[in-house]
Structure 1
Amino acid sequence: MLQQQEVGRLVVPISMKEAINEFSNWRQFKVKGNTVKGYDREIRNFCLFLRNPDIVKVTLNDVMDYLNGVIELGWDPNSLMPRCMALRKFFEYLRLRGFTTLNEELIPIPRKQYKIPRVADEENYKKLIEIIPAESHDPRHIRNMVIINLLWDTGARNGELLSINIADVDLEKKKALIRTEKNRGSRPFREIFWTEETNQNLKKWMDKREALGNKVTFKDPEALFLSLVSCQAGQRLSVKGVGELLRRYANRAGIPYINAHAFRHHMGHDIINQGGSTADVMNILGHASVASSSIYTMMTNVELENRYRTFKGN
């Protein structure tokens, strides 16, 4: 806890590092763990930039210098929004605690720059799975194959897929119960479904996982997908770990990098192309509202051209 003395609204200055620790401890009771970690990371980066000043000495110019520095280093301009949101929440918390600090409302929230989302297609999906030895007994290949299969079949978020426990899986009905990441309030859980081919690969992984468990002690025995890296073996596989395996396979297959979210965009787009509604997209992908699903109704350039040619007749 912070060591401080208060007289009315007068608070003795403390270091930013101390304030971040208390903010994160308080924040964990309000939002999910990943959000706490994200905010904590962004605020600590700012703290490092300023070399851990007293919180009352932080100015708006400090914030603007930091944001400009991020852009100069080549970061995506869209990365500024979560940084600014984290800083706003942090300084709002300090103000409510009684500290005389920077007014959080002065921290700008940059407009998001729209970009055409990266969408996985069937050709690149096939190239990805073809690069994995089909008859391999290497547990990494077996695990990675079914992860890619599930991303393609379900459109689940990376973190949702990795949250699955063994007890959540129903191989007979080819489905699982997952914890929805961004709709925890009204719909904290939802079911995902997959194909028979994926089911066979999943069974193969679960058998291999059980065999491994007879030889080593898992640090996270409930997790479906485990890290197999020596220093982290037996722990639940991380989001970063999936990103790395996708990047590695994409490089080997000679295709552009496909992140986990590209599979999600494919699923949403495919549902609409098959005649589904935005409500179908919302329910299958676990969106909080139909508005979040509307992006998938947008046509790609090729689809737009084809529709135009149909209307014009040439």
Structure 2
Amino acid sequence: MQDELSTAKTQFKMCICLRNCTILELLFSTGIRIGELTSINIEDINMEERTLLIFGKGRKERLLYLSNNDVLNKLIKWIQMREFFEPTTKALFVNKYGNRLSIYSVENIFYKYRDLSKINKTSTPHFLRHTFATLLLDNGADLRAVQEILGHSNISTTQIYTEVSTERKKEVLIKFNPRNSFQL
């Protein structure tokens, strides 16, 4: 009896850990809002196409491609383990009672791992979206494509990230441009 209880606790912890890791991976690798994440249903995922159907602000739909194999594999494993919680909903992410996770639950998950990793105490889940967009632009992504990926209806909202990107480029050029060390 004790062994069965211990096994169940271990499996429960593994399921929670996988769920939480998958949540953080999806937030970072797709730039979706936490409200968009909590509204994803199982049928919104197409594994063959590697896509997620996201319902953004105003229920505006957009399709996102899961480009990273590790993220896709975690998602597949989570969907398999999700049954451990005996879901009462079609929600992708459920709590220990099988109900849809709330935005507040996702925030608490983020804060738990933020504190464990000892990163900036002022970080919020939205920082993952911000970092995602900034890194896309830093790596050469087109502003219009980033707008579509983030689900911004107005390009001026997306342009906020170019200012950060421009600032980062300035820092890099000041620090690493070889011309800065030449005296003529």
TM-score by length of 2: 0.81
Greater share of residues in helix: 2
- Provide the rounded CA distance (Å) in 2 between the counterparts of 1:302 and 1:167: 39
**Structure 1: gaps of 5 or more residues:** 1-134
Asked if 1:273 is matched to 2:145, the reply is: no
Deviates more, 1:293-302 or 1:280-289: 293-302
Count of paired positions: 167
Given the alignment, which residue of 9, 29, 44 partners 1:168? 44
Deviation >6 Å, runs of 4+: none
Alpha-carbon offset, residue 282 of structure 1: 0.6
- 8 A contact 1:223–1:236 mirrored in 2: yes
**2:26 maps to which residue?**
150
SS at match of 2:164: coil
**2:159 maps to which residue?**
294
Alpha-carbon offset, residue 277 of structure 1: 2.3
Alpha-carbon offset, residue 246 of structure 1: 1.1
In structure 2, give the amino acid aligned to 1:147.
I
Alpha-carbon offset, residue 312 of structure 1: 6.2
- Provide the rounded CA distance (Å) in 2 between the counterparts of 1:260 and 1:175: 22
Asked if 1:313 is matched to 2:180, the reply is: yes
In structure 2, give the amino acid aligned to 1:285.
L
Asked if 1:177 is matched to 2:53, the reply is: yes
- 8 A contact 2:85–2:98 mirrored in 1: no
- Provide the rounded CA distance (Å) in 2 between the counterparts of 1:284 and 1:311: 35
- 8 A contact 2:41–2:92 mirrored in 1: yes
**1:225 maps to which residue?**
93
- 8 A contact 1:153–1:193 mirrored in 2: no
Alpha-carbon offset, residue 308 of structure 1: 3.8
In structure 2, give the amino acid aligned to 1:242.
V
**1:38 maps to which residue?**
none
Alpha-carbon offset, residue 305 of structure 1: 2.5
- Provide the rounded CA distance (Å) in 2 between the counterparts of 1:293 and 1:273: 13
**1:303 maps to which residue?**
169
**Structure 2: gaps of 5 or more residues:** 1-10
Q: What pairs up with 1:224-243 in 2 under 5 angstroms?
A: 224-228=92-96, 233-243=97-107
**Higher Rg of the two aligned structures:** 1
- Provide the rounded CA distance (Å) in 2 between the counterparts of 1:141 and 1:161: 17
- 8 A contact 2:85–2:95 mirrored in 1: no
C-alpha RMSD of the superposition: 2.2
- 8 A contact 1:169–1:177 mirrored in 2: yes
**1:67 maps to which residue?**
none
In structure 1, give the amino acid aligned to 2:83.
E
Q: 1:311 to 1:290 in 2, by over 3 A?
A: farther
- Provide the rounded CA distance (Å) in 2 between the counterparts of 1:203 and 1:305: 39
**1:32 maps to which residue?**
none
Alpha-carbon offset, residue 302 of structure 1: 5.0
Alpha-carbon offset, residue 138 of structure 1: 2.2
Partner deviation per Cα, 1:207-249 (whole Å, 9 max, x = no partner): 1112432xxxx34x21110122xxxx22210111111111111
**1:256 maps to which residue?**
120
Q: 1:297 to 1:175 in 2, by over 3 A?
A: same
- 8 A contact 2:39–2:91 mirrored in 1: yes
- 8 A contact 2:18–2:74 mirrored in 1: yes
Alpha-carbon offset, residue 307 of structure 1: 2.6
- 8 A contact 1:155–1:265 mirrored in 2: yes
- 8 A contact 2:42–2:92 mirrored in 1: yes
Percent identity at matched positions? 29
- Provide the rounded CA distance (Å) in 2 between the counterparts of 1:293 and 1:141: 33
TM-score by length of 1: 0.49
Alpha-carbon offset, residue 251 of structure 1: 1.4
Partner deviation per Cα, 1:91-114 (whole Å, 9 max, x = no partner): xxxxxxxxxxxxxxxxxxxxxxxx
Alpha-carbon offset, residue 161 of structure 1: 1.0
- Provide the rounded CA distance (Å) in 1 between the counterparts of 2:147 and 2:48: 26
